[in-house]
Amino acid sequence: LAAHGYPEAPRAGDPIDGLTHDPGPDCKIFHSGTRVVGDRIVSSGGRVLSACALGDNLDRARTRAYAALAQIELKGSFFRHDIGHRALMSF
């Protein structure tokens, strides 16, 4: 999940909501561009969060990771929708 303005001028200080949502037992959210301000987690860099998931196959793992990201709200943020696409096409 990348911050608004990434990569040229990523915006910092935007609050991140949805992090208390349970992504499931086979999914983890990793922080890379976050910091705590008061009682909030806010963006502090370009690449803000990553979602990793397990599944019975690549498609299921990918679906779980994207579902976890969909629960997170960060104004102006975006993420790639093609991760694993080439690998899926080879099956």
What's the pLDDT tens digit per position in 18-70?
A: 999 999 889 999 999 999 999 999 999 999 999 999 999 999 999 999 999 99
Count Cβ neighbours within 10 Å for each residue of 25-41 and write b for 16 or more, e otherwise. eebebeeebbeeeeeeb
Q: Is the pLDDT of residue 84 over 70?
A: yes
